[in-house]
Amino acid sequence: MPGLGTIVNTLAILAGALVGLLIRRGLPEHISDSLTNALGISTLMIGISGTLTGLFRVKPDGLLDRVDLLLLIVSLVVGTLIGELLNIDRGFERVGQFAERRLGRNDGRTGRAFVESSLLFCVGAMAIVGAIEDGLAANPTTLYAKSLLDGVASIIYASTLGAGVLLSAGAVLLYQGTITVASFFISQYISDALMLQISMIGSAIIICIGLNLLGLKRIKVANMIPAVLVPVAWALIGGLFG
The model's pTM: 0.77
Average pLDDT on 203-211 reads 86
- Domain borders along the chain are 4-68+89-215
Distances (CA, A) of 180 to 14, 135, 224: 20, 4, 21
In this model, does residue 173 exceed pLDDT 90?
yes
Q: Residue 66: beta bridge partners?
A: 56
**Cα-to-chain-centroid distance, residue 43:** 10
Give dist(CA 119, CA 125) in Å, integer.
Answer: 12
35: confidence class by pLDDT, cuts 50, 70, 90: confident
Can you state the angle between helices 164-185 and 88-103, rounded to 10 degrees? Answer: 130
* pLDDT band with cut points at 50, 70 and 90 for residue 237: confident
pLDDT digits (tens, 9 = 90+) for 91-109: 877 776 776 676 555 556 6
For helices 4-24 and 109-122, what crossing angle results, to 10°?
A: 150
Q: Give the per-residue pLDDT at 217.
A: 80
pLDDT at 74: 96
Specify the pLDDT at position 100: 62
pLDDT of residue 15: 96
Q: Is the pLDDT of residue 126 over 80?
A: no
